Amino acid sequence: MPGTLADLTKGKLELLAENALLRQQLIILRRQVKRPTYRKTDRLLLVLLARMARTWKQALFLVQPETLLRWHRELFRLFWKRKTKACARKSKLSPETICLIKEMAAKNRLWGAERIRGELLKLDIRVSKRSIQKYMRPIRRRRPNGQSWKTFLRNHAAEIWACDFLQVPDLFFRPLFAFFIIELQSRKVIHVNVTRSPSDPWVAQQLREATPYGHAPNYLIRDNDRKFGPEFARVATTSCINVLRTPYRTPQANAICERFLGSVRRECLDHFLIFQEKQLYHLLKAYVVYFNQARPHQGLGQRIPDPSIPSTPLPNSSNQVSAIPVLGGLHHNYRRAA
């Protein structure tokens, strides 16, 4: 009864708006059986209709009044963002200069606005420091404390090795663990071995075998696996190796080793049935020889990591090419016939 009396006091336009608001909610409900979805047009219509009805809170059934107010605030921000963007002054800098500033800021993470301004002056391009900061801000949200991980790897690749485990199930789904050590600059596999129970002393022994006669890198990248225990750390310290632990859940920090493990699976292990530990060891040993001495690598410009036998073409173009099978014919190594 009170609701009916309240409707009698409403104007015709307000009653039409309230009916349209209720109708729009029914249209949304009929669209899907479960939870209704709200399109951008639905949100805009609900906000406009609610503005025309004084009792819009009582007419809302699908969403809370706070949700409708939040949609209104989002539309308000979008409206003023477009309005201020249209009224913004056109930049006096050429698009080429703006692209050059962004490129300098992206490729030189240690450079500030004043440093970039100096580089632009060398090119006879005069830009204020404030303008440079304006175009640097979207590229670099915060100033880094030092060089990036990618730059560090590139500058010290000749002194860095990386190691990781690859878990391989045998025919009866029992786990086997293959351990690899790779040199980053040449992509050469330094060491490989297989075990069923990898422990800290076993991993430490692998590091000893990979660094005979003091031949050791300055840095060794490893993940946070518990197999690398105090014995492994002691052997690394004795060999003057600085162990670099990758952050958690960041396989890209050991990208070269991770990519090699993917190549081992795709090019070797996915095509064999593994019966026992010794078989897996001989299989991986053969693949490592092929990987180091015959397989071209994209990261090296299609060069071989360790070319033990140079395959230079002879002057006579009629020489035949011989194909040497690898891993039972799974791959072939092509050489010039003598």
How far apart are alpha carbons 327 and 290 in whole angstroms? 9
Q: Answer yes or no: do 172 and 290 share one domain.
A: yes
Q: What is the mean pLDDT of residues 106-125?
A: 86
Tokens (6 digits) for 39: 């399109």
Each residue's pLDDT tens digit, 265-302: 999 999 999 999 999 999 999 999 999 998 888 877 88
HSE-CB for 232 with a 13 A CA cutoff? 22
Q: Answer yes or no: do 217 and 167 share one domain.
A: yes
Residue 143 located in a structural domain? no
How far apart are alpha carbons 163 and 241 in whole angstroms? 13
How far apart are alpha carbons 58 and 55 in whole angstroms? 6
Residue 316 located in a structural domain? no
Residue 196 located in a structural domain? yes
Position 314 pLDDT exceeds 50: no
Q: Which of 2-11, 66-75, 113-122 has the highest mean pLDDT?
A: 113-122
Q: Answer yes or no: do 19 and 113 share one domain.
A: no
Select the more confidently predicted residue: 198 or 12: 198
End residue of a domain, out of 65, 87, 109: 87
What confidence tier does 52 reach under pLDDT thresholds 50, 70, 90?
Answer: confident
Q: Answer yes or no: do 181 and 206 share one domain.
A: yes
Q: What is the mean pLDDT of residues 209-236?
A: 93
Q: Calculate the average pLDDT of the chain.
A: 83
Residue 319 located in a structural domain? no
Residue 141 located in a structural domain? no
Q: Answer yes or no: do 78 and 129 share one domain.
A: no
Lowest mean pLDDT among 144-158, 159-173, 192-206: 144-158
Q: What is the pLDDT of residue 1?
A: 45
Q: What is the mean pLDDT of residues 208-221?
A: 92
How far apart are alpha carbons 100 and 136 in whole angstroms? 11
The distance of Cα 67 from the centroid of its chain, to the nearest Å, equals 35
The distance of Cα 100 from the centroid of its chain, to the nearest Å, equals 26
Q: Answer yes or no: do 174 and 81 share one domain.
A: no
What CATH number is attached to the domain comprising 233? 3.30.420.10
Q: Answer yes or no: do 274 and 170 share one domain.
A: yes
What confidence tier does 65 reach under pLDDT thresholds 50, 70, 90?
Answer: confident
Residue 318 located in a structural domain? no
Q: What is the pLDDT of residue 263?
A: 93
Between the alpha carbon of residue 194 and those of residues 159, 199, 201, 253, the distances in Å are: 25, 12, 14, 24
Residue 188: name the closest of 326, 299, 288, 327 by CA.
288
Total domain count, the chain: 3
Position 166 pLDDT exceeds 60: yes
pTM, rounded to two decimals: 0.58
Q: What is the pLDDT of residue 165?
A: 96
Q: What is the pLDDT of residue 87?
A: 57
In the chain, what percentage of residues exceed pLDDT 70?
86
Q: Answer yes or no: do 168 and 224 share one domain.
A: yes
Q: Answer yes or no: do 285 and 164 share one domain.
A: yes
Residue 315 located in a structural domain? no
Domain boundaries, position 107: 95-136
Residue 240 located in a structural domain? yes
Q: What is the mean pLDDT of residues 1-7?
A: 51
Q: What is the pLDDT of residue 41?
A: 82
List the alpha helices (DSSP H) in 108-199: 113-122, 129-136, 149-155
Q: What is the mean pLDDT of residues 226-251?
A: 93
